[in-house]
Amino acid sequence: MYNTKAYAAASATSPLAAIAIARRDPTAHDVQIDILFCGICHSDVHAVRNEWSDFMSTTYPIVPGHEIVGRVTAVGEAVTKYQSGDLVGVGCMVDADGTCPQCQAGLEQFCRSVIFTYNSPDQHQTAPVTYGGYANSVVVDERFVLRVPSNLELAGVAPLLCAGITTYSPIRHHGVKPGQKVGIVGLGGLGHMGVKFAHALGAHTVVFTTSPHKTEDALRLGADEVVVSCNANEMQKHAGSFDFILDTVSAKHDINAYLNLLRLDGNITLVGAPEKPMEIAAFSLLMGRRSLSGSLIGGIPETQEMLDFCGEHNITADVEVIPIQKVNEAYDRLLKSDVKYRFVIDLATLKAA
């Protein structure tokens, strides 16, 4: 075991602060990574504040962070895919049983024994729970380490490991293609990646936002149209016209307003995970045989496919790089929908601290 610097919250109401955490020495299949950048996902905020306690309660201290890019510093003797010096990524998962039907299908996120990057039981018992990427170093089984395309700017790659795959996976699953009309609800970290992917796949892409000042950015990011969602007239113009809508909103909102925009057999997929349940009017689904579904990140093979797609299409997240000392301020800004469009922590600022 060795110690590394990290940032953790000691309770649901504490700010994040510096801490030393233990990491295991790399075992045979492990890759040790010097973390360069880590994105700030809204899930980090939900978890730190224990907002998902009905589903998975938070163990403190919590070290969040599951949008990790870094450089390999050591590998175990059985590692075949990586060597020291490689640029790599780690997303939301660090282990799974590898044998269940979901794992065999490359859908490790749905494995009943999935180990998330933070706040999951630590199988190696280095700590009570896994600790995430707001840290200088991490050790991960090579099966959960991803190759990073060499042509992309690294800070903008970090958010692909969660915001990227979480939007890419449902957009692919629902067969988004040219000629389709696709809606993206919420222009934050996930939403802005959804816009980039839907646009790259040739769909007519419409952004729904509660923030009128994001209109110009939405168009620059690849949207064909922008609708300010509190404008009922604007919403009505799109009634019954969408093939697919991806809802990335982090707080309670009216889903029925979006269900009514779907055409026959249209689908809304929720990736946003608000703290409180939301109401669905039966008729919003009955009319037009519409469906509502959910999606959780994406499996490891698809995450690699998404990274390679981003390499080919030159896609990265639009980021605001911050020193780790500004992480609490960034959380407050996220809660005000004030992010362009992902905060990414430069971990060199933790090393220097």
Please report, as ranges, the residues that interact with Zn ion according to CB under 5 A: 41, 43, 162
Per partner kind, with CB cut-offs from 5 to 8 A, the member of Zn ion, ligand NAP, none near residue 190 is ligand NAP
Spatial separation of the C-alpha atoms in residues 353 and 351, rounded to whole Å = 6
DSSP 128: S
Per partner kind, with CB cut-offs from 5 to 8 A, the member of Zn ion, ligand NAP, none near residue 50 is none
List alpha helices for the chain, DSSP H. 42-48, 101-104, 154-157, 163-173, 189-200, 215-221, 232-237, 256-259, 282-286, 300-313, 327-335, 348-351
CB–CB of 79/71 below 8 Å? Answer: no
Per partner kind, with CB cut-offs from 5 to 8 A, the member of Zn ion, ligand NAP, none near residue 113 is none
For ligand NAP, which is the closer residue by CB, 72 or 185? 185
Token look-up 């969660």 returns: 162
Per partner kind, with CB cut-offs from 5 to 8 A, the member of Zn ion, ligand NAP, none near residue 93 is none
Spatial separation of the C-alpha atoms in residues 292 and 307, rounded to whole Å = 27
Name the residues that contact ligand NAP, by CB under 6 A.
41-43, 46, 162-163, 166, 186-191, 209-211, 214, 248-251, 253, 271-273, 295-297, 334, 337, 339
List alpha helices for 64-105, DSSP H. 101-104
For Zn ion, which is the closer residue by CB, 166 or 229? 166
For ligand NAP, which is the closer residue by CB, 10 or 230? 230
For ligand NAP, which is the closer residue by CB, 127 or 296? 296
Q: How far is the CB of 231 from ligand NAP (least distance, A)?
A: 13
Q: How far is the CB of 193 from ligand NAP (least distance, A)?
A: 8
CB–CB of 70/33 below 8 Å? Answer: yes
Q: How far is the CB of 344 from ligand NAP (least distance, A)?
A: 12
